[in-house]
Each structure stands twice: as C-alpha cells, then as structure tokens.
Amino acid sequence: MSKRQNVSGGTCQICHQTRPLNQLLPARLVRGGVLPLIKKQHPDWDEHSLICFTCLNRYRADYVQQLMEKDLGELDELEQEVVKSLQDNALLSENINEEYEQQLTFGDRVADMVAEFGGSWKFIIWFAIFILAWISLNISFLLWQPFDPYPFILLNLILSTLLPFRPPSS
C-alpha cells in the first residue's frame, strides 16, 4: 500500500549487503569530514549511493580517531578505549528509526494510515466514482425512488464528516 513498504530494502554500496531502508543512509546525508574518508577507499561511491549504519559508524570512528591523532599524536591506551567506546555507542544508536517506530502509539499509526490513504490517488479516484454513482442513482428518480434526492443532503452530510481527514496542506 505505501511506498515505504513496497521498497523495503536497499544495498549498502560499501559492504554490498542488503539491509532494510531504516538501516541505510543516502550518501548526500553523510556529513563533511567522514565523506572524504569513504571516498578514499571507495572512489565510485557517489551521492546516489547508500551506506549502512554499520559501515558509517566504522568510518565515523576512523574519523574521530584521525582527529584525535592529529591533535594528540599517537593515541595512548585510554584514548584508544574512547575511540572504541564511541564506535560501540554509535552502534547502539543505529536503530533510532526502529525505536521511533516502536514508540508510536496505536493512534499515531492509524493517523498515519488515514493520512496516507486519504492523500493517495487510489482514494481520490474511488471517491470520485463514489460521488458520481451516488448522484447518478439519485437523479435517475424516474426509474427508482431516490434515497437522497437532489440536492443530495445526505451526501453533503457524509462529505462534511470527512473534512477532518483531509491531508494537511503543505
């Protein structure tokens, strides 16, 4: 139904593993200092590529290590420990999207689904068909007893209850 579900995965162009989309980041969102490090090892990796959080965190730790070495010279044991824990912590935070989705309430999910369906072409087309069918049925009063004769007051009532579900204008 949704685009998010149709395209459920992608490939990290660094490790060539297929991952769910919420574990991949488009290259254009990779920040400054980390980018040259990736490009150095993967020259073909361009702005249309994807990178998984595992690979990205490895490069982030490399980047921090480089910065620290530039400032402090050779890293001592404690500093290496810091770099390592940075890497581990980064791994802990890699599933932010998943955590976010887990904390959505039932109401949030229903609201998302309603907004997604209400804004889709499928809905608009079915809605147009529904209104045309309703009006056609009720103006063919020579054949049937109309259940909502012109000017379609019941239809008007139904439409007005739908107004709160209009997708927000952006």
Residues that bind Zn ion in the complex, under the rule CB under 5 A: 12, 14-15, 52, 55
Residue with tokens 């969102």: 29
Compare residues 92 and 163 and give the one whose CB is closer to Zn ion.
92
> Residue 17 CB, nearest distance to Zn ion (Å)?
6
Compare residues 27 and 55 and give the one whose CB is closer to Zn ion.
55
> Residue 81 CB, nearest distance to Zn ion (Å)?
25
Residue with tokens 């912590």: 89
Q: How far apart are CA 138 and CA 141, in angstroms?
A: 6
Compare residues 12 and 138 and give the one whose CB is closer to Zn ion.
12
Q: How far apart are CA 95 and CA 83, in angstroms?
A: 20
> Residue 5 CB, nearest distance to Zn ion (Å)?
23
Chain-centroid distance of CA 66 in Å reads: 33
Compare residues 27 and 52 and give the one whose CB is closer to Zn ion.
52
Of 136, 133, 138, 135, the closest CA to residue 149 belongs to 138
> Residue 104 CB, nearest distance to Zn ion (Å)?
27
